[in-house]
Amino acid sequence: MKTKIVTIGASDSPESVEEKLACAGIIIRQGGLVAFPTETVYGLGGDALNPESSRKIYAAKGRPGDNPLIIHIADMAHLDRIVSEIPGNARKLAEAFWPGPLTMIFRKAAIVPYQTTGGLDTVAVRMPVHPLARLFIRKAGGYVAAPSANLSGKPSPTLAKYVVQDMDGRIDMIIDADGAEIGLESTIVDVTGEVPMILRPGYITQQMLSGVVGETDMDVTIYDSSSPQTPRAPGMKYRHYAPKGELVIVEGEPQKVVRYINEQTALHEAEGKRTGIIGTQELLLEYHASIVKNAGSRSDADAVARQLYTFLREFDDEDVAYIYAESFSEAFEDKGFGQAVMNRLLKAAGHKIVRV
């Protein structure tokens, strides 16, 4: 399959943007697949109400069939058609955080095919805020099923070039435009129960959610990796975002962390292995490895989130065999956005942590 790459930038007139997205919308309506930017990461879109489109999404990504897709909508009025009820808490959360990086799990309406929900009777819905994403969804008929636009297991793409790397030849169109300012996937909240439950942490934090609905719960597997429970979001049980090299998170007093990482990288490099580091601004000059990525200040979770997946992809391109990352858990113990950053970093590392 030939993949059409369509760039949308500052030089496009509103008419030209409209025309390009109308073409993309027609592809979706005809059962094809289009990758598009959102404020979180790039999505791989298909018609959410067409079982054949969902099947194609799983095939293009190599995604396990039990890992359901998120339906993206652009208008609140469209929600009714795909869910069987809208709980009061969901209305409050939608009012506070939609459009934005929040996904909610509802009981599904019959019109939503099981191919889209991975066989579940519930359905995940999000309303993105990215203006191109919203116009694209409307042009596509209002219901776009979209997981992240990466091959299954790889880091979610925050730049169009990584979508091209993974999806060229596998889908009909890639929209290359600015986006992914947040850099991590949406917060997922199950609103089907009495108390809303967070299934995946993200930019919308527990504190923000509780500020709107009062009490909220969090899936235990998010903060306790030794829990025997299965994650409630099926996708959370898979290893994710894994770079080709071995990634280890190093936790402890800053000077000890630096010493340990420098010792390890010296050993690997003496064996002729390329080694990389994800470090914070505060410690950057103290590292000796050949490749050191600047994750920004320890106190700035937004900056770390924005760059994390790009770093993981760059390490692959740079053929790095061993990667060491500072732990962000202490700096982020306030359970804010840092919790989501640490959640993704732990998954990428397969939970390998060294405490020094």
By the criterion CB under 6 A, which residues form the site for ligand AMP?
A: 67-68, 70, 105, 117, 120, 122-124, 147-148, 185, 188, 199-200, 233-236
Contacts of 228 (CB under 8 A, 6+ apart): none
Residue 27 touches which member of ligand AMP, Mg ion, none, C-beta under 5-8 Å by kind: none
Query: What is the nearest approach in angstroms of ligand AMP to the Cβ of residue 199?
Result: 6
Residue nearest to ligand AMP as judged by C-beta position: 235
- Determine the Cα–Cα distance for residues 250 and 280; give it in Å rounded to an integer: 12
Stretch that binds Mg ion, among 120-128, 142-150, 168-176, 301-309 (CB under 5 A): 142-150
Q: Which is nearer to Mg ion, 122 or 280 (CB)?
A: 122
Residue 251's beta-bridge partner residues? 355
The correct pick among 53, 89, 122, 148 for binding Mg ion (CB under 5 A) is: 148
Phi, psi (5° rounding) for residue 272? 80, 15
User: Contacts with Mg ion: how many residues (CB under 5 A)?
Assistant: 1
- Determine the Cα–Cα distance for residues 105 and 124; give it in Å rounded to an integer: 4
* Opening angle at CA 114, ends 108 and 117, nearest 5: 65
Q: Which is nearer to ligand AMP, 235 or 338 (CB)?
A: 235
Query: What is the nearest approach in angstroms of ligand AMP to the Cβ of residue 31?
Result: 20
Q: What DSSP letter does each residue of 83-142 carry, written as one string?
A: BS---HHHHHHHHHH-SSSEEEEEEBPTTS-HHHHTT-SEEEEE----HHHHHHHHHTTS
Stretch that binds Mg ion, among 119-127, 130-138, 144-152, 304-312 (CB under 5 A): 144-152
Query: What is the nearest approach in angstroms of Mg ion to the Cβ of residue 148?
Result: 3
CB atoms inside a 10 Å sphere around CB 269: 16
Query: What is the nearest approach in angstroms of ligand AMP to the Cβ of residue 283?
Result: 31
